[in-house]
Amino acid sequence: MPTAAHGCRLRKGRVSEHDRIYLLTAVVYQRQPIFRDWRLGRLLVDQLRSAEEVSIATSLAWVVMPDHVHWLAQLHSGSLAELMSRIKSRSSRAVNLARYQHGRLWQRGYHDRALRKEEDLKDAARYIISNPLRAGLVRRVGDYPLWDAIWV
């Protein structure tokens, strides 16, 4: 996982293209398993859906793991930095309020990868939603409460 020095390096050369599909990953501060509590994970999901409701991005697939999130999304307006800032700040506020705490929820920065048109989006979505299986959290994807994909 990137250190603070690497987190800054991730921002160099980043380009946001509208209608482009991105695989986005954000990590909880100090990799604390905050979202092991699925109710707190739902607060993050609410923010992913909120971005869709205001036409900033369309969610194609996502999974909220105990200490990070993977999100396959198509960007419609603004920049990736604005989108991720919105998701992280609003989910931080909601999670802190629910936990009667304050402070940092997310590590700085995020990872993004633009998918090329020839890449199979369904394969990318399968990879994302199978994270709980690979992590040994569940035996079947359907047993994990914090994922979704438009193809299911």
Per-residue pLDDT of the chain (152 residues; tens, 9 = 90+): 444 444 444 455 577 889 899 999 999 999 999 999 999 999 999 999 999 999 999 999 999 999 999 999 999 999 999 999 999 999 999 999 999 999 999 999 999 999 987 778 999 999 999 999 999 999 999 999 999 999 87
* CA–CA separation, 121 and 58 (whole Å): 13
Torsion angle of the four alpha carbons 47, 48, 53, 56, in this order, in degrees rounded to the nearest 10: 110
- The reported pLDDT for the residue numbered 12 is 53
- The reported pLDDT for the residue numbered 44 is 98
- The reported pLDDT for the residue numbered 13 is 56
Instruction: Give tens-digit pLDDT for 32-47.
Output: 999 999 999 999 999 9
* CA–CA separation, 70 and 111 (whole Å): 9
- The reported pLDDT for the residue numbered 119 is 75
* CA–CA separation, 33 and 20 (whole Å): 30
**May I ask the CATH architecture of the domain 4-136?**
2-Layer Sandwich (3.30)
Q: What pTM does this model have?
A: 0.88
φ, ψ at 117 (rounded to 5°):
-60, -30
* CA–CA separation, 120 and 112 (whole Å): 17
